[in-house]
Amino acid sequence: MNKMMLRAAVVSLTALSSGLLFAPAPASAQVGQASLRGTLTAPADNPVIEVAAVEISTGIRRVVPADAAGAYNFASLRAGTYRLEIKQRNGTRNSDAFTLRVGQTAGLDLDLATAPTPAAPATEGTAPAATTPEAGTDAAAAGSGGEIIVTGNRIRSLSGGQVGSVISSRLIEQLPQNNRNFLAFADLAPGVRFIEDSSGSSRIQGGAQDSRTVNVFIDGVSQKDYVLKNGITGQDTSSGNPFPQLAIGEYQVLSSNYKAEFDQVSSVAITAGTKSGTNEFHGEAFFDFTNQDLRDRRPSEIFPTYIPKTDTSNKQFGAALGGPIIKDKMHFFGTYEGKRISSPYDVRPNNNFPISSVPEQYRDNFGTFAQQFKEDLYFGKIDIVPTDNDLIELSGKYRKESGLQNITGIDAASTATLNKVEDKRGLLRWQHTGDQWINDVRVSYENAIFSPTPSTDGITQFFQSTERFGTSVQRNDILRFGAGSNFQSKGQKGWTLQDDFTFTGFKGHTIKVGGKAKWVKLNSLEQNLTNPLYTYDVNAIPGVAFNDTLPYRLQFGATKDASGNATVSSKNFQLGFYAQDDWDVTSHLTLNLGLRWDYERTPAYLDYVTPAVNVAAVSPENYPNLDKADYNINDFITDGSKRKAFKGAWQPRLGFTYRFDEAGRFSMFGGYGRSYDRNQFDFLQQEVSQGRFQVRSFNFIGNDSVNPCTPSQTCIAWNPIYLTDAGRQQLLGAATGGGSEFRFMNNDLKVPYSDQFSLGVRGRFSPVELEVGVTHIESNDGFVFLLGNRRTDGSFFFNDPTSATDIPQSPTTFTPNGYGSIILGSNGLKTNSDAAYFKLTKVYSASSPWSIDATYTYTRADENRKFGETYSLDYAQISDYPTLRSSAVPRHRLVIAGSVDTPIGVTFSSKFQIESPAFVKGFIDNADPFGRILVGRQVDSLGDVWGRRQLDFAFTKYVPIGFVSDQARIRMRVDILNVMNDRNYVDFNSNASDPAFGQRSSYSIGGNPPRTVKLSAGFSF
C-alpha cells in the first residue's frame, strides 16, 4: 500500500471516530456488545417520549428517543442486567429487571395500554420488586406512574444465521473443570472442540479447520496471534490461560456465520466481556488443589508394568475486588490468578516398538516424568461515566509464564524446553451516544513474546526403525534424547485504532459502519538445532541388531548473517472496513446484510529479494533436475517487486430470521458468509530466516536402508569427527552451500478463507429452548510446505519399477549440489464440513434453579492433508493428495452440561462429553504396482464404540458468615473429573501396511485426566 492509501485510511478512521461517516451496518453494535430494540405501544393521549436502559449494578443509563409508533433502539449495551425507564407524556414507568447476554441481539415489545395494573405499585427510582431473571423467564404485568412492567418471556432473539452458544457467568463458575481456562466450555457450541494435550496446552478448533483459524475478542478487541499457531497470543505450547477466569463475565461462541464486524477468523469466533466494578464493593478469593494422592493411576503407570505414581501437583489461586470510586460515575475492578503445576508425561516409542529391543543403556529415557509450570495473570479495569451519553473504559492485562515442558511422545526428558511467555495488553475505549447514533472508538496496545530455549545443550540423537511389509517400507520413531532443539523468540508488538459507528435514525434499520487500522511489528528469531541432531536407522547395518553408531543424517543450525543477527522483523500494516444493516423488513422478518473488506501488508514477504546465491544454486546449470519438473522455480524467486498484497478480501455476510409468531417463540434462521483469515508469519518468515540462520543437512553413504543417497558434497562417508564442532565446521567448508536448506515462497500466495452456510429453526417451550440446524463450511487456500527436490529426470518418485527393491520414496536426498532440500511455501489445503446439530438450553433463574445446555453434532468432514500437518513432503503437489475423512473431527459428538440447587444447600453441576472414534491415515508404498497410496480407517478405541468419553461432577456449598457484608460467604467445593475413569487413549498405529494399523500404539491418554479429585475453597462478599 502506498503512502497516499495509508493517509486515506487514517483520514477515514479519523472521520469514523468523529462520528462523521454514515453508511449501512449491523444491529449488534460492536463485537461483544448486546443490542435491544422493539416497540412500546401506548395510548394516543399518553405516548412514549423516550426510553432509558439502566444497568442495575452500576446505575449507568443510556437514553434513546421513541418515534411516533413507540419504536426504540439501543444499539450497543454491555452485557448485564437492566431495567427500562419508559418516559411518557404523563409520567414514567419502569420495567422489571431483564438480562442481556454478550453479543445478543434482542427484541422487546410491550403494550402499555392493555397490560394489567399491579396491586402494589413501586415508587419511581426504586429497585425492581421482581427477582432478577434471565431473559426468557415467565411473567406478565404492567403499571402506571412509575409502576413496574414485567418483561418476562417477551424478550426474543434476533440472532440471524449465526450458529453458536452463550456461556454465562454461572456456567463458568459452577461447571467442573481442570485448569480454570474460561474457554473450556466453548465446546457447548455446535461443532466446536476444546482440546488439551499432554503438556497442558489447549486449543479451540471447529469447522474441520486448524486452531490457527480461530479468533477471540475480549471487550471487542482481537486477541489474534499473527506469528504462531493456536489462534490467540500465548496459547502456543503453553499450559497457561489466555485471561483470568475471574475477570470474564460471560462469552459467546460462534461456530458459523458471524457478522461483518468479525475479522481474521475463518472457523470459531469467540467474544467475551470482562467484569466491571459496581456501586457496591464485591470481592472474592479462591484456592484449588489436587495432587497424585487425589487421582487414579494413569494407564502408563499400570501398563506394561506397575510403577509408583509420578508426583503431580496442581495449585491454582487468585482474588478479585471491584467497587465504586464515585457512585454511578466511576468504578474499578481488578483480579489476579496464579498457577503452579507439576504434571506427568510419558516417553514411549511410536507404533508399539518394543522397548526391550532398545539397548539397555538407553532404556532409562523411557517412562513417566514430571514437567513444571508457573503462571501469574493480572487484569485491571476502570470505567468512567462523565455524562449520560458517555462511557470511558481503561483496562490492562499482564501475563507471565515460565516452566520446564515436554510433550508425551518419543522425546526424552533431557530434550525438554524452558518456556517463557510474556503478554501485555492495554485498551482505552470511549463510547458516545447521541439521539439516533452511537460511536465507539478504541485504542489498544499489545506486546506478546514467546521465547522457549533448550534445557540441555550438547548433541541430540534420534533413533528410527525400519519395517518392511511386503514391498512397503515404513519408518517408526523410537527415541530422541540428549540436548534440546527448541530455541525461539517470537512475538508481536503494536497499536490498533478501531471505530464502530451505529445509526438508528431510519425506521426498521440498524445501520453500522466500522473500521480498523493496525500497526504491528512482528518478530521472529528461530535458531532451532543449535544443538546438532544425528538421526540413526537402527536397521541399516546388516548383522547389527541395533545400529547406534552410524547415523544416516546430520542436521544442525548455523548463523550465516555476518552481523550474527538472525531476528526477522516485519512492520505490518492491517486495514479493515465493514458495513452492515440489520433490517426489520416486517414484524416477522429480519435481514442481516453485511459486507467486509480486509487488507494486510507484510513487508518481510512482499519486499523480499531472493539472494543471488540461492538463485544460482537452483539454476539449470547447477541443478538440472528442475528442467523437467512439474513446477516452475521462477514462481518462487523474486527481485522485490513481484509480490503484491492481496486486495480481494471482500466478504459478504448475509443472514435472516423469520419469526412464525408475534412473540417470536418459533423462528427459522439461516445465512451465508465468507471469512478470510491470514497467512501465519511463522511460515512466511522462514524464507528470510533461512538466509540468516540456516539448517544444514548432510547424509551419510550406506547408513539409510530406506532412501540411500547418491554421493555428492552433501552425501558423504561417515567419520566420527563429525560428532565434534570441529568436524561440523569441516563439513561447512567442504560443501559449496554448506548443506544449507532452502525456503522459497510462492510469489502469488493466496489468503486462506472459508465459506459458511447455515439453516435451522429455533423454538421456545418455556422454560426450554430448542434449536435444530445444518451447516456447511468449506475452507480453501490453507498454507502448505511442499518438497521442491526432484530426481535427475525431473520426476518426484523413482520412475523405474523394474527393480523389486525400489519403492516410491520422496526425493529427499536429491538435493542441489552442496545444499540441503528445497522447501516450497504455497497454498492448497482444503477442508469440508457438513454438520447437523441439535441444541437444548434451559437457563438458570432464581425461580427455577436449574440449568441444562446440551449439544449433539453429527459431522461429515474431509480434508486433502492430515489435520494439523503443514509440511506435505510425501507427494509432488498438494493436488496429488487424496481427499479423505478428517483426522480431527469426530463423526458424532455430544456435550451436556447442567447444574441444580439442591434442597440441602449444595449446588450440583456436571459435564458429560462423548464422541465417536478418531480417523487415522497412513501410506502404503508399492513396488508392483508402483505407487504410494494414502489410506485411512477409524481407530480401535474404547471397544470401538466411542473415541472419547468423560463425565465430570462438581459439588459446591456456600456458607453465609455475616461478616464484612450480608453477602459474605465461604465456598467449599469438590470436583471429580473423569468419574468413570475412562482411558481416552490418543496414540494409534499409523503404519498402513502393518496388520495393527489403527490399533492403540501406546498407553498415553494425552491431556485427558484419569479420575481426579480437585479440592477448592473460596471466600466472597
- With a pLDDT cut of 90, the percent of the chain lying above it is 69
Higher pLDDT, 701 or 99: 701
Q: Are 16 and 515 in contact (CB under 8 A)?
A: yes
Give the pLDDT band of residue 799 (cuts 50, 70, 90). low
Give the pLDDT band of residue 473 (cuts 50, 70, 90). confident
Q: Give CA–CA dist 180/814, Å, rounded.
A: 50
Q: Which fold has domain 282-527+566-691+740-1020?
A: Maltoporin; Chain A (2.40.170)
Domain segments of the chain as ranges: 34-101+109-154, 282-527+566-691+740-1020
**Cell numbers placing 458:** 550438547
What is the three-state SS of 387-454? CCCEEEEEEEEEEEEEEEECCCECECHHHCEEEEEEEEEEEEEEEEECCCEEEEEEEEEEEEEECCEE
Which superfamily, per CATH, for 34-101+109-154? Immunoglobulins (2.60.40.10)
Q: Are 532 and 554 in contact (CB under 8 A)?
A: yes
What number of other Cβ atoms are within 10 A of residue 941's Cβ? 23
**Cell numbers placing 12:** 477515514
958 Cβ neighbours under 8 A, 6+ residues apart: 905, 907, 969, 970, 971
Please name the residue ranges forming H helices in 719-764: 725-734
The closest alpha carbon to 313, from 341, 333, 280, belongs to 341
Q: Give CA–CA dist 830/825, Å, rounded.
A: 15
991 Cβ neighbours under 8 A, 6+ residues apart: 351, 467, 469, 474, 476, 922, 997
SS3 614: helix
SS3 187: helix
Higher pLDDT, 63 or 964: 63
| pLDDT for the residue 110 | 86
Residue with cell 515460565: 402
Give the pLDDT band of residue 1014 (cuts 50, 70, 90). very high
Q: Output phi, psi for 90, to 5 deg.
A: -110, 30
153-162, 183-192, 503-512: least confident range: 153-162
- Single-letter amino acid, residue 577: F
- Helices (H), strands (E): how many in the chain? 8, 52
Q: Give CA–CA dist 61/100, Å, rounded.
A: 15
The closest alpha carbon to 267, from 1017, 901, 835, belongs to 835
Q: Which residues of 949-959 are buried (b: 16+ CB within 10 A; e: fewer)?
A: bbbbbbbbebe
pLDDT in tens, 38-81: 889 888 889 999 999 999 999 999 999 999 888 899 988 998 89
The closest alpha carbon to 423, from 447, 395, 394, belongs to 447
Q: Give CA–CA dist 771/857, Å, rounded.
A: 12
Chain centroid, CA 84 distance in Å: 37
Q: Which residues of 678-712 are buried (b: 16+ CB within 10 A; e: fewer)?
A: bbbbbbbbbbbbbbbbbbbbbbbeebbbbbbbeeb
Looking at the predicted structure, is the pLDDT value of residue 800 above 90? Answer: no
Report which secondary-structure segment, H or E, holds 874: none
Q: Give CA–CA dist 112/127, Å, rounded.
A: 20
Q: Give CA–CA dist 301/1003, Å, rounded.
A: 9
Please name the residue ranges forming H helices in 116-207: 169-174
Looking at the predicted structure, is the pLDDT value of residue 139 above 50? Answer: no
Give the pLDDT band of residue 566 (cuts 50, 70, 90). confident
- With a pLDDT cut of 70, the percent of the chain lying above it is 91
Mean pLDDT throughout 986-999? 89
586 Cβ neighbours under 8 A, 6+ residues apart: none
The closest alpha carbon to 258, from 617, 580, 603, 733, belongs to 580
Q: Give CA–CA dist 588/492, Å, rounded.
A: 46
pLDDT in tens, 338-366: 999 999 999 999 888 899 999 999 999 99
What is the three-state SS of 467-484? EEECCEEEEEEEEEEECC
The closest alpha carbon to 754, from 730, 776, 722, 727, belongs to 776
β pairing state of 215-218 and 269-274: parallel
Q: Give CA–CA dist 767/153, Å, rounded.
A: 9
Mean pLDDT throughout 310-320? 96
Q: Are 93 and 101 in contact (CB under 8 A)?
A: no
pLDDT in tens, 870-895: 999 999 999 999 999 999 999 999 99
| pLDDT for the residue 23 | 29
β pairing state of 269-274 and 248-256: antiparallel
Q: Give CA–CA dist 91/87, Å, rounded.
A: 6
Mean pLDDT throughout 274-279? 95
Give, in order, the Cα–Cα distances in Å from 226 to each of 214, 343, 369, 420, 567.
Answer: 11, 29, 33, 18, 16
Q: Is the peptide bond before 929 cis (omega within 30 degrees of 0)?
A: yes
Measured between its terminal Cα atoms, the distance across the chain in Å is 54
Q: Are 362 and 354 in contact (CB under 8 A)?
A: no
Q: Are 573 and 601 in contact (CB under 8 A)?
A: yes
Q: Give CA–CA dist 294/862, Å, rounded.
A: 40
Report which secondary-structure segment, H or E, holds 908: strand 906-915
How many CA atoms lie within 13 Å of 371's alpha carbon, on the beta-carbon side? 29
The closest alpha carbon to 49, from 17, 71, 77, belongs to 71
Q: Give CA–CA dist 167/843, Å, rounded.
A: 11
Mean pLDDT throughout 781-810? 80
pLDDT in tens, 484-494: 999 999 999 99
Q: Give CA–CA dist 914/947, Å, rounded.
A: 8
Query: Which residues is 41 bridged to in the sheet?
Result: 111
Give, in order, the Cα–Cα distances in Å from 220 to each of 30, 269, 493, 861.
Answer: 7, 12, 18, 31
Q: Are 335 and 399 in contact (CB under 8 A)?
A: no
**Cell numbers placing 286:** 479462591
Give, in order, the Cα–Cα distances in Å from 759 to each of 27, 163, 531, 670.
Answer: 20, 9, 54, 4
Mean pLDDT throughout 693-697? 88
Backbone region of residue 686 per phi and psi (left: phi > 0; alpha: psi in -120 to 50; beta: other values): alpha
Per DSSP, the residues of 949-996 read EEEEEEEEEEEE--SSSTT-EEEEEEEEESTT-------B---TTSTT
Mean pLDDT throughout 298-318? 92
Looking at the predicted structure, is the pLDDT value of residue 134 above 90? Answer: no
Report which secondary-structure segment, H or E, holds 485: none
Please provide the average confidence, as pLDDT, over all residues in the chain.
89
pLDDT in tens, 166-207: 999 999 999 999 899 999 999 999 999 999 887 778 899 999
Cα torsion angle, 41, 44, 50, 53, sign: negative
pLDDT in tens, 220-262: 999 999 999 888 999 888 889 999 999 999 999 999 999 999 9
pLDDT in tens, 894-905: 999 999 999 999
